[in-house]
Amino acid sequence: MNVMAEISDHTILSGRYELLGHLGKGGMAYVYRAHDKNLQRNVAIKVLRESLIDDPAFQTRFLYEARAAANLAHPNIVTVYDFGYDDGRYFIVMEYVEGTDLKTLIRRSNRLPVEEAVDLMIQIGAGVGYAHRAGLVHCDLKPQNILVGRDKQVKITDFGIARALATTRPDEHSEIVWGSPTYFAPEQAAGASPSPASDVYALGIILFEMLTGRPPFAATDPVLLAKLHQVAPPPPPRHLNPAIPEKLEIILLKVLSKEPSARYRTADQFSHVLTTFTRQPQLIDQTLHAHSTGSLQNDHPSHSAPSEVTYPSPIDWTAVVLGLLAFMAVGGLIPLWLWVCLLYPTCPLNTW
């Protein structure tokens, strides 16, 4: 049964949400623009595909993940307003974003200017990093799941759906579960459970595509594509776009490391490094070294904010001068004390 064919414009879900038009579809859901008749605002509604509705394990897990995603309050994450069931359809009500998805933006421009690409990735990293601190891994980051508003503000979507799929069907290699192998980390391709470092790898693929106009690996066979992620080195980004700064290329290749421990472990770390690259490029070598040693020792996402870049403290010359004066003052008292002591016969120095 094709749910898409059953839903037409002006259909009302749960007596509240009036569908206004079709926005798109993916491996997990059909997307509609709708109007919330109660709160009088436009929203986006995702109606889950039939194959997911028929899976009881997915239904249970998705409800849990949808609740978790609904608690993600961050300017770079699409807000989840509601979750419902109507006439055999599970749907999610979300914030409606005026703009387009990142994939469409890349196709229109072929590749994005370096400054714009880095700015967008800093926002994406901030949103994904916030989710990592909340204990959520997206599992299916790709340009199609990243919305860019008309004001260039980034909004990430599909946290609940992707996580629920990865949890209930971790070993199934169907089209829906694999999602987009183009952005899968090597450990995901090998069948391991995704981690925050897996999301970071996907962010690296997305940044590579923004800067060069193409992902680093391409193949029509998903199995072959997965193998490329596991064993093939990515092409040097500067060979495809000489405008990419050398230090940005170093950062990008680090994120695309095959071994998760060699990457930044959370999206927060990646975002902070890119921010340093943008604002203080002279400190990027120090930052890269710091993140490649101490900050990468913990395999689990931290619930506290990641450490900022440490800057050397300026020398307090006033304190130095006062210290010297104090030393000179104390040192000058020693000869005076010796002279006064020698004036008295009982001075122990007179016995010498």
Which amino acids are annotated catalytic?
Answer: 140
DSSP for residue 183: G
Sign of CA dihedral 176, 181, 230, 261: negative
Map residue 24 onto helix, strand or coil.
strand
Run of H or E residues at 163: helix 159-168
Q: Give the full edge-to-edge strand order of the sheet including 154-156.
A: 99-101, 146-149, 154-156
Copy the structure tokens of residue 27. Answer: 């491996």
Which residue type does 75 have?
Answer: P
Cα gap 188→229, rounded to integer Å: 10
> Do the beta carbons of residue 341 and residue 349 sit within 8 Å?
yes
Which residue type does 44 have?
Answer: A
User: Which residue do the tokens 């106009």 mark?
Assistant: 213
Copy the structure tokens of residue 300. Answer: 């689990």
